[in-house]
Structure formats: structure tokens, C-alpha cells
Amino acid sequence: MLIAVLSGFIFALVLVFTGKYFKKKYALWSALLPLGLFVYFLQFVGRIGNGEIISTQYNWIPSLNVNLGFTLDGVSLIFSLMITGIGFLVYAYTAAYLKGHVFLDRFYGYLSIFMAAMLGLVLSDNVLSLFIFWELTSISSFFLIGFNNNKQSSRQSAMVALAITGLGGLLLLTGALILANVSGTYSIAEMLSSRDIIANSPHYIIIVLLIFGAAFTKSAQFPFHFWLPGAMKAPTPVSTYLHSATMVKAGIYLLLRFTPVLGDTPLWQTSLIIVGAVTMLYAAIHTLFRTDLKGILAYSTIAALGILVFLIGLGTPDALLAACVFILVHSLYKGCLFLVTGIIDHETGTRNTAVLSGLRKVMLPVAIAGILAAISNAGIPPSFGFLGKDLIYESTLHFGSWAMVLTAIAVITNILLLYAGFVAGVKPFTGSLPQQFEKVHTPSYLLYVPPLILAVGGILIGLFPIIIEGALIKPAVTALGANSSEVHLKLWHGFNTILALSGTTIAIGLLLYFLLKPSEKLEKLAQRFEFISPQNIIESVAYAFGYFSIYWSKIVQNGYLRHYITTIIVFLIVLVGYTLINHTSFEIDYDSFERLTVYEILTVLLLMVGTIYTVFSRSRLGAVASMGVVGLAISLIFVYYSAPDLAMTQFSIDTLTVILFVLILYKLPKYLNISNNVVRIKDGVLSLTFGLLITVLALEVLSQPQNTEISSFYAENAYKLAKGKNVVNVILVDFRGIDTFMEISVLTIAAIGVFSLIKLRLAKRFRNK
Amino acid sequence: MEFLLAVVTGLLYAAGLYMMLRRSLVKLIIGLILIGNGANILIFLLGRITKGLPPIIPEESKVFIEAYADPVPQALILTAIVISFGLQSFAIVLIKRAFKVVRTDDLDQMNSIDPYS
């Protein structure tokens, strides 16, 4: 199973090197990859149907608990078959749709990465690998939306989509980590057994909200839905594959996957029902105001995703069954409608529904596919869509006291969706053919066969639901933790409320379709309310945040070294000073002053005078010379206090520094006092406070007991182990020999730097200044 | 003496910081050197100072017989002195080079990438 998941990545990698040859002739052959995977997953249908769950485990980073655990159960199987099956059709379709495109190889590469990531997502059992694949789908989606990267609008939409789905990814990671922390495992299967611990944990609410955030951003729920219409800038095969059939359902998958773990609480139910209901109504109403075919389909996809979230929120076995069925129904008809739209766009050059009509006369097979898909979308019997809609009504009708409201919402949404489906699938083909389209001809079979397969599939499954009942739907419902023994999919339930509701939906929907024609006037009307749309609000916030960041950076990162130093020192003084004021315990031992010798006092005085003169000297030579005096005084202190090696080193280094300074002194500009007195006094006060802090700190440390363990180790072993009697030298060249070696390397590098800076010849333009 | 050395350390830190806050690059480096010296004395002092007993094992014996000065701070300071010399020498040559190109020692006038502006 690992190879099945990784094959897409491998294929994408191969394309990097062979792309040039690939895109000329062999593009169609790449469809064998999803086809092979489809067949591979098909062979599990029998075993999964018998209630088996197939899982494999590969260690990846065991120390971090990131393992590639793959589990294939009913839900995963439905998604895997959808990903590979629709993937196969899209791969084949693309070969004709983007024939001769310069970046065809790149396109297939992105598509394969996406397919692999999506498969990994739906098969992962480990929440961390689930997150990684989740992010990979966002990233491949970013590249595919921005595929026409010479257009500004494409790039913009890609950025928006990445920002929104990427935000969701972060929420998912946080949620997954907290969840793993609470349940003590990273495996989703194992989390099932700690369901009660999770539900009773104080972190339950935050986990659920984070998972919701991830699912809602990915599956384009209100108010995060707006990236999806923007994503329609991608070539149509991408819209079909990612932004309708598979990737946007990743959020739905996540909710389904966690239903047995987190579901069945008031928080879970209420939020999902409300968000789903708002999304489906909002998006369905929006379809009325669009004239672009892909825009209409995008909003109807959002509405469909809303329905799915709504169903998961209901959470009854009926509702979960309806969700599983509707996922398939939607993928079949919406995939088909998108592909049909792509053909229309490809052949006529427009997607404006107000203009398109009568195309059946020039592209009959496409018309058949479009109309069949519209029928399934409308839920007209005997299509698969009819069955799906029945199940939705059944679950809303049996939902306690809110049944009437919920059913009404579902009916309204379905009426509007029917309208949208007809506008996209029927309207372009009916009526009279305008003159401008008379030269349009039926496209290559590679373009119209894939949508036909999807459309016919939608009708066939409607007629014979038994095909998928035992094999796909039952195991999926079981995997969701519901009882599947009473699942029976059938077209005819007899005359009852549900049938009446279906009839009403179809009748009103058709009426709406015949009365209301899509027009640009309506679209303009909708644009007037654009300023209160979530997209506008979120974008404004994003811009405001951008400006704030620039403003803030200008304050914090102002580019003046002394401001940075001041900030650091002020914080240090405040924090350390505060602690010291509360905890100082040292006492000054005045007796020790009597033991001071004259030469000690003189040395210290020399040091102090030298330091002060360095600061206040008005000549650079004076400052450098007195700095040398300071160094020499320090080396004297080393002599007095038993550090002969230090004294020698300090003496020679100090001398060298002064010589170096003096050598280049005459090449430097005049030594000036640039700052004014106010700044100097301010800096002086700050510096003195800082110095005082260091003095107090030193005295405080001196009053504390000292740990001499390390020193005595070196002292005892210097001769025993290293055969040396000067302990300081032994430490440097023996115990810490490698460190000293590194130090020599650093000095060598500095020396090379100094040498080359001196020897480097200036470019001509600087030489004569 | 400990008290005096603590005061000296504080003075060196104060002087170093003051110099680092100036706009002149040369003063910045002088400040760095002063703070470096202050840090060396601080480490030396905190390792406790001992008079006249260098950490060298007497000629005739194999271990220390009497008390000795702590060798660890001394090893640390020795490294620090040498490394800071590497830094200082490079910085000094770099200022000279920078001055040749941009003709200024003032940090505030070095913000621009273009030497002609």
C-alpha cells in the first residue's frame, strides 16, 4: 500500500527528468497510473465488503511517533476509488484539454503529487502523517490554481487558497497534537478506544474547534468558502478533480473520520448543523446571481459540501448513510458537469450562460453527458441523485423537534441546486444555436468520453443501487460507528412524505429554471453587496495586518545598532535589577581593605583612570593608548593573582591590538563627537546603571558558595592522565584539545580575512576618492 | 580586593556600553574591547582570586600539596582573549576598508547600500 501511495510522488519525480519527451507524445499514457491504482483498490472491495479492515504499518520516524500507518476501511475505500477513478478520467481528459501546452509535464507532475497526497490523506491512520498529506494537498492545489502563472488573478487566487487552507492545516496540526496528548496515541484507530477520556477531557472543546477549523477551511464552509470560487482560475480538469470531487472533500473526510471519536455531543452536532445549513443556503442562493458556468458550479459545490457537513452534524445512522451516498452522487454529477463546462469553454471560448445555447446541434455526446448529469443533480428518478436526495430528506424528517425547519432548509437548497445544475448542464444545449457557434464541432473523444462515463454511471447506480450497497456503502457506514445491517438502497419506497418532498423539489426547481434566466443584471446586483461578504472582510483584515506589520517592523527593526543595544540593556536592567533588589544578601567586608597593598591600589587606580580617559579622550590616539594601558593593568592583576599564562597572553594581545590600531589610524577620518549632550547624558546614565548592576551581580555571586568539583578534577588528573604540570595548559591542549583546535581554525579564518581585506584591490570607482 | 575588582568590572562594562552607544565605528570597537576586558575580569573574579599560588604542580611532586588557584576560569579567559583578538583585528581592518569605500565613520550614514547616495 506504501508503493500505491508513493507512486504519484515517484511519477512526479520521474517527470522532472523526462518531461520534455513526455509532453510531446506520451501524455495519455500517464492515465495508466490512476487506472492501475483504481484496479488495485478495486481488488479490496470484496474483503472490505466482508467487514475486513486492512492496515499496514511502516516505521518512518518512530522516535517522534510519526509512522506511516495505512488503514483501508469502508470510508477510505470510497474516497480511494473516487480519487483514482475520477483521477483516471481527468488524466485522460487533460491529455486532450491541454494538448500541446508548454507546461503539460509540470501539470501532470502537480496532479500526480496531489493524487498521491490525497490517497495518503484518506489512508493515513497516524494523525501526524495525515497532517503532512493534508498540507501536501494544499500545496499542490496552490500550484494548480496558479498554473496560469502569467495571469495576476490566477496568482492572487492561488495565494488566497493557500492562505485559507494553510491556516486550516495549522489548526489541524494543533488539534491533532492536543488530541494525541489527551488520548496518548497518534493512531486514529486506537483513539476510538479512548473516546470517553477525550469527551470528558477539559480540552475536548478546543480539540473539536480546531478540527472544525481545519475541516471548514478545506471544505469551503461559510465564512471560509470564498477561496473556492477563486480557485476556479485553475484549468477545468483541476476544478473537476481537486475543487469539486476530491480535495474539498478532505474536510468532509476529516469530520467523518473523527465522528466515532469526537462526535455525538451537543457541541459537535449543533455547530455542524448550523455551519452546514448556513453554507448550503448562502451558496445555493449565490448560484442565482452568477453567469459564469464555473462560478455557478463552484457555488453549487460549496452548497453540496454544506449539505455534507449538515448531514454529519445530524449524525444519525440515516444521516451518515445519506452522507456516504451523497459524496458519491455529488462526485459523479459534479465531476461530469465540470468536464462538460471545460469542453464548452474549450470549443466555444466562453463560459457565459447568458450567451450559450443550442450546442446540442454541434456536440451531441457532450449534450447527453450534460443533461444526464443535470438529471442526477436534480434528483429526477431513476438517477442516483434521486436516491441521494431521498436519503437526505429521510434523515432530516426523523430528526426530532427541529425536523420541519431542517427539512425546509434542505428542500430550499435542493431547489436552488436543481436550478444551478440545469443552468450548467441543460441550458447551453437547448434552444436555438446562435450564429457565432455554428462552426463549433464535436471535440476529440478523449474529451467527451470521461464526462459520459460519469453521467452514465450516475444513472446506472440509480437503477441498480445494489452495485454499491454491500461493497461500498455498508462498510463505510460501519466504519463510522453506525449499524449498517438495515442499509437498503432502493429507488422506489412507495408513496410517502419523502416522495412528495422530492416531487415538490423537482417541480419548483424546474419552474424556477424556466422563469428565471441568468443575466448580468442579477450578477451586478449581487456585486453591490460585495463589501459585506466574508471575502472582503477577511481580505481587509489581512491588508490591515500587513500594514500593521510594516509599521511595527519600522519601530522594532529600525536599523540603528545603538537602539537595539539600548533596548536589550534596558530590559536586562529592569529584569535582573528587579530580582536583585528583592534578593541581595551580600555584605561588604571592610576588613579586607586593610590587607590591600600599595601596588594593588595603584594598579586598580591606573585601570580606572585609563578607562575613564579612553571614554573622554578627544583624540583617537589618546583613546587607543589609554585602552592599551587598561589592558596592561589587567595583565598586572593577572600577575598578582596567580595567573601567569593569562598575564602573558593579555600582554602580547594587548600590544598587538594597539599596534594594529595605530598602523591604520592615519587612514581613518577625523575623530568626532557627533552626539549632543542630551543623548550623551542619557547614554551615560544608562551605562552607569548597567555597570552598577554588573558590580552588584558580581558581589552577590561572590557571597554564594562555590562549586569546585570540576576544578579539582582537572587539578588531580592533570599529571596522572595528561602528564602535564601546568594545569591551565593541560586543560587547553589536552582535556579540551578539540576546542583549542577549533579556536585555532577560527583565528586562521580571521587571519585570512584580515590579509585579504588588506590586499584586496578596490574597484576603480572607489580608488580615486 | 574582591570589592575593588567588582567595581572595576562595573566601570569597564559601563565605559564599554557607553562607547558602543556612540555613532562612530571606531568607538564601537573600543567599546567592544572594553566590555571584553570587563567580562574577563568578571570571570576571573567569580572563580575566586588567590594570591601567589598559580595552578602549576610543583616540580618534585605529582599532585598539588597546598591550595592552588582555580585553573578553569583561567583556561576560559585565555581562550576568550585569543578569540577576541581575532574579532578585533578583523573588525579594525574592516573599518578601514569600509571607510575607504563609503568615506565615513558615522554608523548613521552607513545605512544606504549605494556608496554614492
Give A213-271 pLDDT, tens digit per residue: 999 999 999 888 888 888 888 889 998 898 888 889 999 999 999 998 888 888 999 99
Nearest to A414 by CA among A296, A504, A490, A315: A504
Relative to beta strand A54-61, strand A66-72 is antiparallel
DSSP 3-state helix, strand, coil percentages of chain B (rounded to 5)? 65, 5, 30
Whole-angstrom Cα distance, residue B117 to residue B105? 15
Angle CA(A22)–CA(A24)–CA(A28) in degrees, nearest 5?
65
Residues in CB range of A5: below 8 A, 6 or more apart: A70, A116, A119, A120, A123
Residues in CB range of A563: below 8 A, 6 or more apart: none
Contact B6 A562 (CB under 8 A): no
pLDDT-derived band at A36 (thresholds 50, 70, 90) equals very high
Q: Which of B71, B85, B104 sits opposite A669 (nearest CB)?
A: B104
Total H helices, total E strands in chain B:
3, 0
Whole-angstrom Cα distance, residue B71 to residue A276? 73
Place of cell 519600522: A554
Contact A642 B18 (CB under 8 A): no
Q: Quick one: DSSP state of residue A706?
A: -
pLDDT tens digits, A295-329: 899 999 999 999 999 999 988 888 888 899 999 99
Phi, psi values for residue A704, rounded to 5°: -95, 155
Angle CA(A169)–CA(A255)–CA(A472) in degrees, nearest 5?
125
| E-strand stretches of A635-718 | none
Q: Which of B9, B82, B106 sits opposite A694 (nearest CB)?
A: B9
Contact B97 A757 (CB under 8 A): yes
Question: Which chain B positions have a beta carbon within 8 Å of A565's beta carbon?
Answer: 17, 20-21
Question: Which chain B positions have a beta carbon within 8 Å of A746's beta carbon?
Answer: 83, 86
pLDDT at B117: 42
Whether the predicted model's global pTM rises above the 0.80 cut: no
Around A2, how many Cα atoms within 13 Å sit in the side-chain half-sphere? 9
The fold of the A560-714 domain, in CATH, is Four Helix Bundle (Hemerythrin (Met), subunit A) (1.20.120)
In 3-state terms, what secondary structure has residue A726?
A: strand
Phi, psi values for residue B50, rounded to 5°: -130, 140
- Cα B2 to its chain centre, rounded Å, is 19
Contact A695 B51 (CB under 8 A): no
Provide the shortest C-alpha distance from residue A728 to chain B (in Å): 5
Whether chain A has a CB inside 8 Å of the CB on B109: the answer is: no
pLDDT tens digits, A334-360: 999 999 999 998 888 888 888 888 888
Provide the shortest C-alpha distance from residue A593 to chain B (in Å): 7
Provide the shortest C-alpha distance from residue A648 to chain B (in Å): 10
Give the domain ranges of chain A.
1-160+227-255, 524-557, 560-714, 715-769
pLDDT at B111: 62
Provide the shortest C-alpha distance from residue B86 to chain A (in Å): 6
Which amino acid, residue A467? I
Contact B78 A641 (CB under 8 A): no
Nearest to A444 by CA among A36, A147, A34, A27: A27
Contact A731 B48 (CB under 8 A): no
| pLDDT for A32 beyond 70 | yes
pLDDT mean over A80-94: 92
pLDDT tens digits, A553-563: 888 888 788 88
pLDDT-derived band at B10 (thresholds 50, 70, 90) equals very high
pLDDT at A219: 92
pLDDT mean over A588-596: 78
Q: Which of A565, A589, A638 sits opposite B20 (nearest CB)?
A: A565
Task: For an interface test with A, give the residue of B9, B19, B22 to mutate (most A CBs within 10 A).
Answer: B22
Residues in CB range of A2: below 8 A, 6 or more apart: A56, A58, A68, A70
Place of cell 416531487: A503
Tell me what the pLDDT averaged over chain A comes to: 87
Structural domains in chain B plus CATH codes: 2-51+67-110 (1.10.287.3510)
Angle CA(A722)–CA(A725)–CA(A726) in degrees, nearest 5?
105
Give the count of Cβ contacts less than 8 A between chain A and B.
272
What residues form DSSP beta bridges with A56?
Answer: A70
Which amino acid, residue B34? L
Place of cell 446541434: A361
Contacting B residues, span 46-85, partner chain A, CB-CB under 8 Å = 46, 48-59, 62-64, 68-72, 74-75, 77-79, 81-83, 85
Phi-psi region of B38 (alpha: psi -120 to 50; beta: other; left: phi over 0): alpha
pLDDT at A764: 64
